[in-house]
Amino acid sequence: MLPMDEFIFDVMREKGINELKIYFSKNKIYPDGEYSQKICKSIGAYMKWLPALAHSQDVDSDKIRNIVVKVTKDNSAKDACELKILVTAIDDRGLRHDVQVR
């Protein structure tokens, strides 16, 4: 498990939730609630990093309208801390692009 995975898992465990969604376009985390400054700063850092990441993949970041990261605890996994991560991006044409992160 990556350190960021462990951090997200800790937040989910503390909140007693099985799924966490981060809406980057809204700078919002669901379910609603109080989240630590650490996770909020992390989201801000990812927002700043996003244009460089998009450029490295030959994607114009101005064409990205929305990005949502959905993190779900995988209760069927051997490792109780295993997470499923789905990244969804909506482009300027309204097309949805899903990527499952390992």
pLDDT of residue 2: 43
Strands of 96-101's sheet, edge to edge? 28-30, 19-23, 64-73, 83-91, 96-101
Task: List the chain residues with pLDDT less than 70.
Answer: 1-6, 77-81, 102
For residues 90 and 67, give the distance between their C-alpha atoms in angstroms, rounded to a whole number.
Answer: 7
Q: What is 3-101's CATH topology?
A: D-amino Acid Aminotransferase; Chain A, domain 1 (3.30.470)
pLDDT of residue 1: 42
HEC string of 20-35 equals EEEECCCCEEECCCCC
Contacts for 47 with CB less than 8 Å, ≥ 6 apart: 24, 27
pLDDT of residue 90: 92
pTM value is 0.76
pLDDT of residue 50: 76
